[in-house]
Structure 1
């Protein structure tokens, strides 16, 4: 480094670095055969140069190491602080996460092509707009269209990405850390959807964070962001609205909706994921009847460590008997029960078990399935729960064919196998897809590759600081350039 402008740094072939000055700024340019990184720096910020150079090396060539020899060379410029080990590790993890994304691996050199999916020139500009009295602060490439939903989770609006001309849905979760449970739900959704890619699972396109106090002068950094924005592919409606509408549903409609739901669920279960909150409102649908599973805030893994789960799960009407009876251990069969309830609702255009509380829910289930023999009660762990089930009036139940006389007999047969009281005797998702009712739709040879199972390693007891750090890390997977402003 030379004190008088302009000066050039030759790092090591094929790396090249130049720094050119004007009156108030210096332009730092780093070149690699596959990429060029430009930074405009205020003259009083030149102390960041060395960190930027290291970031460039780490992102362009993830095998780059800060060796003792390199440390000694850079130590000559003691006015420039070396990046810490934690900073280097952060950048490398971020770079490797990007490398794992399709299209981002430069096989010819084994490095990272910074021209693909990465813009380090500057932070993307943000803009603000209001939807349903809620302020949105997102990247300027998203042009708002209209509000499409509101609930406890936040506000959702549709928008168009003017860079790709793609229509998207943007969900804003305001003050995400005010409620630790909701913050964990947001984190869980981010982690899961980053790992998934399937035609019948909604795609997460982008993640942004912002400080609620627009114009406060406080940057949107890992230490102070309050709002999280999730950008999804846009769908036209959900299955709940379709069921409630006057739109006729043919047998082919029913079959196709169920087929797609089972396909998506098979993919989730093969990735060790229980959805745990399947219901018509969490099944997005397009005008061409494409269906996608959404809302993974309650999802968990199916590994042994995650089997002891007693917290509130699944909207009551779609909750399996083992959950209503407070069984600590449960598995993928809870999702199959929910699918059965949804299927029955599609056939009958109303919920099959609309209980007002857990006890009423169990009574409704027994009133239709009939009194259960002792051989179907072995899964119940609680003596009082077993006693309650046995205390209910004896009934032969109601045949599904009587409830849904217009339904295909094969549909009735599949429904019976889904809504089985004993989870150990309930049909699996693979068996359901191979049921005769699915003939002509399911072809295992055309299925998506089985995803690599992963462990959703999220500690339910982690504090806000850790949740904040993990949400920030998830955002970096979509906007790695943000890490450069945290150095």
Structure 2
């Protein structure tokens, strides 16, 4: 008999099987496999996520530790990680996701509003803790049987850390990121104030839109840098699916074990800049499509706008087949990208490499959101706009009048949750989980390409 594949090594790890029964694999991807499990002590359902990439595992564990206790973020119960073995994260088990909600259709306005409020709460919690998720999409918003929406799959997430971060986790009560944030209490206290009120108390807001991003920018440029990215797309396909149902908290002691990983260096990236090759293409912000490595939480806000548009229409907003096609679809709707519509855009790394013929009459978001109310269109517009600085924060949108007007968001208990059998193929038509290659050169055969000794230029009709 052939030895079991590496992705099934979880069955041979005694420290895991002593505590959990591994029932079967329910999702897999290039960087992780997810199994349904049962905790032997009480029979509770769990998701066992075996992550094959150490950097991705480190980031996901770190992000979930920081977000511990957040109502709309998936719970990490514990993790197993030892030398020469993949990390295994024990997560709460959720039966379905927002993609399934969208797929079943017929979602009422009150339900749409409640799903949106929960998604905004999850993203707000991330951003106040200096976490950029970088892969927001319907399939990564998981849903419990009782209608609680929780953000999952933090393998691409990035956390603001101190300059000089060496990629090693110390064995103490606070994570590197937590310690870094604690060293700037004046900035963190301002950001924490953003969560003191929600949309029910808009008059008590303590920071304006500009002040919010000013605090973030100061922390990023003056005292922090991001951890170094790999020049690769980390995409787990279905590995974020099916993670919940239990409500037990993480035992503090379970997350105190030490682990280390090597932060892979990227050539020419002395400051540990971010990579633009992140996220699922349909939800990728235009600054990423133009190769930006200097971005922040605003990329999540664009993605969230695309998620909301799909929730409202049951159709993807910009279903591009390549990065260039993705940009082309965006331009055809929002219009030309220039200094007037996006101050500073010529500074984007690939801005001069890809140009589009002038769009005289862009269709506008209204055409993409048929049968939507002006308030719904306005909500999406506040997120899906070229200039990152003009995108509304999650906190600001929680206070939008849309959520306080009739019909009001329905109680979570009244949400209709679709049921998906464990192990069912969750690939959606249209390729929510299809990334393809990050290089679009194979698709340029019919385009006008001008090359030089050191560069190339693409003009797309």
More strand by proportion, 1 or 2? 1
User: Which of 314, 319, 325 is the aligned partner of 1:354?
Assistant: 319
Which residue in the other structure is 1:95 paired with?
none
Instruction: Provide the secondary structure at the position in 2 that maps to 1:229.
Output: strand
- The count of corresponding residues between Structure 1 and Structure 2 is 293
Inter-partner Cα distance in structure 1 for 2:325 and 2:312: 23
Inter-partner Cα distance in structure 2 for 1:383 and 1:192: 28
Which residue in the other structure is 2:57 paired with?
186
Inter-partner Cα distance in structure 2 for 1:388 and 1:395: 21
TM-score by length of 2: 0.58
Please tell me whether residue 265 in structure 1 is matched to residue 137 in structure 2. Answer: no
2:71 touches 2:150 (CA, 8 Å); kept in 1?
yes
- Alpha-carbon offset, residue 287 of structure 1: 3.0
Instruction: Provide the secondary structure at the position in 1 that maps to 2:382.
Output: helix
Q: Residues 135 and 298 from structure 1, CA distance in 2 versus in 1: closer, same or farther, beyond 3 angstroms?
A: closer
Q: Aligned-pair RMSD on alpha carbons?
A: 2.6
What pairs up with 1:290-309 in 2 under 5 angstroms?
Answer: 290-302=148-160, 303-304=220-221, 305-306=224-225, 308-309=273-274
1:363 touches 1:392 (CA, 8 Å); kept in 2?
no
Q: Residues 389 and 425 from structure 1, CA distance in 2 versus in 1: closer, same or farther, beyond 3 angstroms?
A: farther
Inter-partner Cα distance in structure 2 for 1:171 and 1:271: 24
Which residue in the other structure is 2:112 paired with?
254
Which residue in the other structure is 2:67 paired with?
196
- Alpha-carbon offset, residue 384 of structure 1: 7.6
Inter-partner Cα distance in structure 2 for 1:370 and 1:149: 39
Which residue in the other structure is 2:88 paired with?
229
Q: Residues 315 and 375 from structure 1, CA distance in 2 versus in 1: closer, same or farther, beyond 3 angstroms?
A: same
Please tell me whether residue 279 in structure 1 is matched to residue 198 in structure 2. Answer: no
What pairs up with 1:24-173 in 2 under 5 angstroms?
Answer: 135-136=10-11, 137=13, 138-173=16-51
1:251-302 deviations in whole A, cap 9, x for unaligned?
A: 1222111111110111111111111111112111123321111111111124
2:66 touches 2:129 (CA, 8 Å); kept in 1?
no
Instruction: Provide the secondary structure at the position in 1 that maps to 2:345.
Output: coil
Structure with larger RCO (C-alpha < 8 A, sep 6+): 2
Inter-partner Cα distance in structure 2 for 1:336 and 1:293: 14
Inter-partner Cα distance in structure 1 for 2:77 and 2:349: 47
What pairs up with 1:423-462 in 2 under 5 angstroms?
Answer: 423-439=388-404
- Alpha-carbon offset, residue 415 of structure 1: 0.5
Q: Residues 389 and 424 from structure 1, CA distance in 2 versus in 1: closer, same or farther, beyond 3 angstroms?
A: farther
Mean alpha-carbon deviation: is it higher for 195-204 or for 333-342? 195-204
1:278 touches 1:338 (CA, 8 Å); kept in 2?
yes
Which residue in the other structure is 2:293 paired with?
328
